[in-house]
Amino acid sequence: MTHKLIKREILHKGVVFDLIVDHIEYPSGNGLVREVAKHPGGAVIVPVLENGEVLMIRQFRYPIQKTICELPAGKLNPGEDPENCARRELEEETGYKANHFEKLTAFYTTPGFCTEQLHIYMATDLIELTAGQKLEEGEESISLQRVPFRQAMDMIREGEIVDGKTIVGLFLAQRDIMHFT
């Protein structure tokens, strides 16, 4: 480690993340303040239908005041296995379950100030549930959209898909999905 923690302040304990301010000292003796958003992480799902279409959602995102097209995803519960989170979120947000999950990667979204790590899974052999979506409070704006994979890639290039986790997920799944189309 290249620094020493002098003082830690938890400024906010939130529903989505905690805000921490660390006062650190480098070996040189110089001090610095680091602000950290402590986030439990989450799971992202690339749900692929047999015909190569990807199940995506359209959801209003309050911080940017826009409805965007993105892959289903959700926050990890304390101690939750990321694949279990992915399975839960797939069912809740799309009304589908998958017989096959493959982990594509895990990555830190913004390691300069946030601890959030997302685990990306590709879900195949999908089965539509008779009960449909199980949306939680605050998710009423979610609508399901079936998007041909090539169209989703065009949507990235054209600026219609602007969500980072969705862009990463689609590019990682590209090699596997291309055999569907």
Active site residues: 137
Question: Are the C-beta atoms of 58 and 68 separated by less than 8 Å?
Answer: yes
3-state class (DSSP) for residue 170: helix
**CA gap 153, 85 in Å, rounded:** 26
Q: What whole-number distance in Å separates Cα of residue 23 and Cα of residue 6?
A: 5
- Specify the residue for token string 């979204």: 109
DSSP string, 44-106: EEEEB-TTSEEEEEEEEEGGGTEEEEE--EEEPPTT--HHHHHHHHHHHHHSEEEEEEEEEEE
